[in-house]
Structure 1
Amino acid sequence: MTVRRHYMDVLNVLSCFAVVVLHCTTVVYVNQGNMQWFVSVALQSLFMFAVPVFFMISGANLIGYRSRYSTKVFFQKRLKRVLMTLIGFSFFIYVLSCLAPTQLGLPARSFSLFEFIQLFLTNQICDVYWFMYSILILYLITPLLASFASNKRLLEYAIGLCIVSTAVIPFANRFAPNHNLFSVFAVPYLTGAIMYYLIGYYIVKYSPFEEHSRKMCPVFLIAAICSVVFMALMTIKTNVPHTVLSGAYSDYDNFYNDYLHLPVLVYSISLFMLFRSLESLFQSDKHSFIAVISKLSSLSFDVYAVHMMFIWALDVYVLHNIFWDAAIRPFVVFAFSLLFAFVLESLKKLCRNTRIAKP
């Protein structure tokens, strides 16, 4: 029997909310250097763990699937869930853009099945769905990863190559005279989200620092805080000279806040390890906190899929300002998205029960 890891539910919910915050503070890309921009940079740095932690949780739960079910069942369970959500919500948003684009802040379109297929295959309906396309690819290669992940040394070797290729080389190139100086040494097949996917599984499978997890809490916390501060300050240092000090506009440089780069990697792993070390506290919870968190965690994928629709719609009716964007809008969007996800899951459950009840 698999023991439920409550810290993953907590991280899943926090990451889901973090995604909403990230997409509510995209004013950073305007790069104006005003107070709202500074606050948004801080929030972007603080919540940038969202996608990395999502990938880590997926890897932790899925790479070892062979101990629970066959590869056929794995594909049936996982691909169906993500693919149906991706197609369903993409079609839903596309139809809304045909019916009420102005009212919902969507691009106006005239319904065409050919156009929908073309936009769907190029991720032009809702660009934040790139995560779902990425996770689908990771699912497709999971049987390959599972074949060597049971070998600790081989897994460590693969993770090492991933970290060097994805995080270390770009960071080193940032300070090199030629920004492509070390790129030739990056392994093209072990770059990107696969890094977090493998790390998540490694942490859960081989439990590093397990014997000293509580003692390591301050270390993980300090590492997380230092990473966030470094990300925010370096992002500000990089962008301000090109905007505020120069008096001219320049494109936003998010190198230090890029989810694949070294500062975010350190932050995400530290946060994951910190919450993992608190699992005993979550397991000993005597109240309804964990039950609520587990329920919210089960809705997180639908929340991710629908939250942009509420962001776009609210943008039509509410003017942007620092208080709304940074302090209110994320909670409003998250609440609406949770309500939508809850109703949707309730309808799905009702349909399943109805089919089962039929003679």
Structure 2
Amino acid sequence: MAKKRLVFVYVLNVLAAFAVVMLHVSLDVFSPRAGGDPKWFASFFLQAAFIFAVPVFFAVSGMNLLDYRSKYDTRTFFVKRVRRVGVALLFGSAVCYLAYGLFPGDFWGAEGATLSVKGFVKGVLSNTVNDTYWFLYTIIYLYILTPLLSLAAGRKRLLEYLLACCAVSAVLLPLAAALGFDRSYLDPLFGWGAFANVALLYYVGGFYLARYVNRPEGFPVPWQASAAVYAVSTAAMALVSAASNGFVGFNAVPGAYDPYWISIASPLCMVQAASVFMGAMALEPRFSRLKGRGLSVLVALSGASLGVYLIQMPVINWIGHRLFWPGYGWLQDTVVRGLVVFAVAMALSVVWCTAWGTLKGGLRRLAAAGRR
């Protein structure tokens, strides 16, 4: 019997892709301007509202992959991952490298870019072609660990032990440092390198929440409660970050911005990401009513979401050079610009996925005809 598709996963994929775009159109938050620039505050609040993006991506990946042994062997697991993420990393890097090198005047930050095979290889190895691809390098690291992590998939207590180790090393230690505690007193005993990457917490946590928490036999959480937790955690991130950076009020902007409280290592982000993940799970009965064309569109958008991750920065940088053209003034608003970038990146990705799928289908038919 075929396993039932979980529609909330498609929804989370699209939501996470949109959230990533909103984070990247608001990067001016890292360059605060004195005097209470309203655009800076818009970016600040967007960062708080959408910082769950990559944590949710990691959580969905962990939920789907940690028990891969029930579906196929380890060799097949790695073949599938190389085909999807490895190829995507190289393809996306190549597109960015060529676009910035061939048309440096058309993209923000590409001035003076040159093309060479050696430069491309060095750029891929050092993540300097498009540094927002850091999450792809991180997910590859998680894939390397997955054959070991999968052995704990059916053992709840072992998963809880893994989560506890990650929480101590990747969340509680940075929290103690942010609160002023001298980290040198903690690192010798608790600075475990194997668990220090917070992405591992989200990766294992996504599987744990889906398997053991938000289920009838576990502790089902209504979506309204998750929505309330999201709102509270988002507001708390904004307030604590504002206070810790020394600005309270629109006329008190600091000269520098410390993003700790609005980052994926923040405990408040962990709560926010869990609320988004669990809220979507709780809405699965409603999402599962989607049929026909509506479901097909959602599946197509979900499948194209990786493409949005790959090409959003070139789109943002291309639009960046055109924000001050006559007739483009409305794009200067961060929220509207994010919507435009997401729509353009998603459209390009859907077109590519459709064309690539059609090409692969045609090649398979030709190969089948040749064997007959």
Amino acid at match of 2:56: V
Give the corresponding residue for 2:208: 202
Q: 1:287 to 1:116 in 2, by over 3 A?
A: closer
1:130 aligns with 2:131: no
**How far, CA to CA, are the matches of 1:118 and 1:39 in structure 2?**
36
Give the corresponding residue for 1:65: 68
Which of 314, 322, 347 does residue 355 from structure 2 map onto? Answer: 347
Which of 297, 305, 318 does residue 300 from structure 1 map onto? Answer: 305
Amino acid at match of 1:356: R
Q: 1:228 to 1:322 in 2, by over 3 A?
A: farther
**How far, CA to CA, are the matches of 1:350 and 1:287 in structure 2?**
20
Give the RMSD, CA atoms, in angstroms: 2.3
Contact 1:60 1:201 in 2 (8 A): yes
1:13 aligns with 2:14: yes
Q: Which runs of 4+ in 1 moved over 6 A?
A: 242-247, 320-323
Q: 1:18 to 1:246 in 2, by over 3 A?
A: closer
**How far, CA to CA, are the matches of 2:289 and 2:158 in structure 1?**
35
**How far, CA to CA, are the matches of 2:45 and 2:268 in structure 1?**
14
Contact 2:166 2:201 in 1 (8 A): yes
Which of 96, 99, 116 does residue 96 from structure 1 map onto? Answer: 99
Amino acid at match of 2:42: V
**How far, CA to CA, are the matches of 1:164 and 1:25 in structure 2?**
30
Cα deviation 1:213-242 (Å, max 9, x = unaligned): 666333322221110000011122222449
**How far, CA to CA, are the matches of 1:37 and 1:56 in structure 2?**
30
Give the corresponding residue for 2:192: 187
Give the corresponding residue for 2:39: 36
Cα deviation 1:162-195 (Å, max 9, x = unaligned): 1121112221232234254433313221122011
1:85 aligns with 2:91: no
Amino acid at match of 1:148: A
Q: Number of paired residues?
A: 358
Aligned residue for 2:3, secondary structure, equals coil
Contact 1:41 1:236 in 2 (8 A): no
Contact 2:127 2:133 in 1 (8 A): yes
- What percent of counterpart residues are identical? 32
Contact 1:53 1:268 in 2 (8 A): yes
Aligned residue for 1:86, secondary structure, equals helix
**How far, CA to CA, are the matches of 1:296 and 1:45 in structure 2?**
25
Aligned residue for 2:222, secondary structure, equals helix
1:259 aligns with 2:264: yes
Give the corresponding residue for 1:147: 151
Q: 1:318 to 1:186 in 2, by over 3 A?
A: same
1:54 aligns with 2:57: yes
Aligned residue for 1:210, secondary structure, equals coil
Contact 2:12 2:280 in 1 (8 A): yes
The 5-angstrom pairing of residues 194-343 of structure 1 reads 194-208=200-214, 210-211=216-217, 216-241=222-247, 250-285=255-290, 288-319=293-324, 324-343=332-351
The 5-angstrom pairing of residues 161-172 of structure 1 reads 161-172=165-176
Contact 1:213 1:277 in 2 (8 A): no
Contact 2:7 2:287 in 1 (8 A): yes
Cα deviation 1:82-102 (Å, max 9, x = unaligned): 111111111121122221110
